[in-house]
Amino acid sequence: MTEAGEIYTKASLDMFKQAFAGAKRGDSFTYDGFKALYKLIKEESALMNEPYLLDVVEIDTTYVEYATIDVYNEENGTNYTFWHDVPVFGSYITGTEGAICYVD
């Protein structure tokens, strides 16, 4: 919920990425990962009909990017073939093989 006296600005993808760089977390995600997160946050904000208050640390500790399903399987002790089979809230495909996943 917005509060009186606060100022909000609409952030572009570049501004979103710059916020991570400014917090020394610019290498946390690939360009495709940042695009997927930006899209996810915009969608969530629209669903809630509220502006999103950008918290770089929260995002960086809540989401992780995996380059491939094989990397995900190796790190999580699973054996999935496709991203849509992974029962993780908020899996967003970042490119041809990678995905952003919500960390439980």
Question: Could you read off the pLDDT of 11-31 as tens digits, one per residue?
Answer: 899 999 999 999 999 999 999
Integer CA distances (angstroms), 1 to 28, 46, 100, in order: 28, 13, 26
pLDDT, average across residues 59-66: 90
Q: What letter would DSSP give residue 81?
A: S
Q: Is 2 a member of any domain? A: no
Where in the sequence is the domain holding 21, given as residue range(s)?
13-102
pLDDT, average across residues 77-84: 89
Strand partners, 64: 101
